[in-house]
Structure 1
Amino acid sequence: MATTKELSVEDKLRALYDLQLIDSRIDEIRNVRGELPLEVEDLEDEVAGLSTRLDKFKSDLVSIEEQIKAKKNAIEDHQAAIKRYTEQQKNVRNNREFNSLSKEIEFQELEIQLAEKHIKEMKASIEHKKEVVASSKEKLEQKTSHLKHKKAELNDIMAETQKEEAFLMEKSAEYEALIEERLLAAYKRIRSSVVNGLAVVSIERGASAGSFFTIPPQTQVEIASRKKILTDEHSGRILVDTVLAAEEKEKMEKLFAKM
């Protein structure tokens, strides 16, 4: 394998275009996965959130049931107190004692009414929360099922593409090693600044691929001569001639066929 210093301009252009073809193939693989990994992550967060919410509602139901039980016990205590005060009224010595006990009985009765009101409200709250729990359970089951499906889909894609991506990543590193550091940095900078990741493009119908701006005939001749590395003044992309591009595409297709 030739070292970086031994590469001619033409060899550099070929190495750059080969690297572009490999990296574009990697981009295609990752595009197949698309937003799926993020979608799976979002679904996992949503399922976890729904599960936590459901657990809280269940805990609230237990707490309310305990509060109802406490109120019922309190009602029994108030009823016992009423019974006790009523018995005491039979043995009072004067009206003042009788009235005092009557007030105590009245207070206990009010406490019973208040407790019964609270129990009624809590039972209504239980019914509402039970509806929410049922709804949350259904939503959780749907989201869990959806997550399972998406995970399986992602695993299938990963299984299909992981080997190919690993092979291409290895080849990308090999071709990067052929290219001088300054040129490689320029390639990566251009790639990161364009939406489709194309830093090296061929001339198509007198313009750089994907561009509507015509390249002057003299510049096209210079590109075809492969004596220096030229860029498109509009997009900044590195340009190669159509013949070189076709040759390298054929070579790379053979390489990809080995996967």
Structure 2
Amino acid sequence: MTNTKELSVEEKLRAIYDLQLIDTRIDEIRNVRGELPLEVEDLEDEVAGLTTRSEKLKTDLEVIEDQIKAKKNAIDEHKESIKKYTKQQETVRNNREFNSLTKEVEFQELEIQLAEKQIKEMKATIEHKKEVISQSKERLELKSNHLKHKKAELEDILSETAKEETFLTDKSAEYRATIEDRLLAAYDRIRSSVRNGLAVVSIERGASAGSFFTIPPQTQVEIASRKKIITDEHSGRILVDSSLAEEEKEKMENLFSSF
């Protein structure tokens, strides 16, 4: 980026401090939202997961019920076979045929016993799955209600702050466009490395704001002269004098209140 106008050091200090005030206001707005967007996202994922699980459990139930029907149909077929083989035993011509039919009857009876055992097991599985479905339904309702509440809370916050945040974000971009690349890079680097996002601070009671380290008197004089950009040797933050800070705060407050 190439700026069309070369700013004086004082103009650079005012611009970078204004940018800091705007970005701090944006931070405050976003802090109001806090972890709420992530909470909503996590709840949405959880509700989707529970919904998918419930649907799968219901599908499993349908499959098992179909299997039970198939087993019952198989039992009916085995019973019909037993009737058929028993009837045939009445017309056999020798013991070998009779014994062969007897084995067929016994085999069909064993198949019936096995099918009945499997039906019993599948019915127990159905009861267990119904209990799990009931628990999942309760949990899904609970999480869905929680999600509804959190979404409403987030929407309220967004409706109150969205326009202001957009306005401030645009202003931040405007101010960034007036600041030279090297100074802007330093600002971004410092801002990203400190917890409160303050890359530019004023002198308060002989120390940089938020710091317990005293700024030497000679350095304070240099900062007040606004002839060069000076950073705090302890925190690395860009320093501005309190008078400049107050002037820019008042200007930015007017900007914020005009929205």
* Larger displacement relative to structure 2 (206-215 or 196-205): 206-215
Query: How far did 1:160 drift?
Result: 0.4
Moved over 6 A (4+): none
Matching residue of 2:227: 227
Matching residue of 1:245: 245
CA deviation profile, 1:113-136 (whole Å, cap 9, x unmatched): 000000000000001111111111
TM-score, length-normalised on structure 1?
A: 0.95
Query: How far did 1:3 drift?
Result: 5.9
Matching residue of 1:129: 129
**2:32 paired with 1:27:** no
Q: Structure 2 matches for 1:45-84, cutoff 5 A? A: 45-84=45-84
Q: Structure 2 matches for 1:80-119, cutoff 5 A? A: 80-119=80-119
Matching residue of 1:156: 156
Amino acid at match of 2:24: S
Q: Structure 2 matches for 1:175-254, cutoff 5 A? A: 175-254=175-254
Matching residue of 1:167: 167
In the alignment, the residues of structure 2 paired with residue 75 and residue 38 of structure 1 have an alpha-carbon distance, to the nearest angstrom, of 55
CA deviation profile, 1:202-231 (whole Å, cap 9, x unmatched): 122322122222222221121122111000
In the alignment, the residues of structure 2 paired with residue 180 and residue 208 of structure 1 have an alpha-carbon distance, to the nearest angstrom, of 24
Structure 2: gaps spanning 5 or more residues:
none
Amino acid at match of 1:26: I
* RMSD (Å), alpha carbons: 1.5
Amino acid at match of 2:195: V
In the alignment, the residues of structure 2 paired with residue 24 and residue 245 of structure 1 have an alpha-carbon distance, to the nearest angstrom, of 14
Query: How far did 1:57 drift?
Result: 0.6
Contact 1:4 1:179 in 2 (8 A): no
Amino acid at match of 1:218: Q
Structure 1: gaps spanning 5 or more residues:
none
Query: How far did 1:103 drift?
Result: 1.1
In the alignment, the residues of structure 1 paired with residue 175 and residue 5 of structure 2 have an alpha-carbon distance, to the nearest angstrom, of 10
In the alignment, the residues of structure 1 paired with residue 141 and residue 5 of structure 2 have an alpha-carbon distance, to the nearest angstrom, of 58
Secondary structure at the aligned position of 1:227 is classed as coil
Query: How far did 1:90 drift?
Result: 1.5
Amino acid at match of 1:242: S
Secondary structure at the aligned position of 2:235 is classed as coil
**2:142 paired with 1:142:** yes
Q: Percent identity?
A: 79
Secondary structure at the aligned position of 1:161 is classed as helix
Alignment: residue pair count: 257
Matching residue of 2:9: 9
CA deviation profile, 1:162-212 (whole Å, cap 9, x unmatched): 111111112212222222222112111211221211110112232212222
In the alignment, the residues of structure 1 paired with residue 170 and residue 97 of structure 2 have an alpha-carbon distance, to the nearest angstrom, of 99
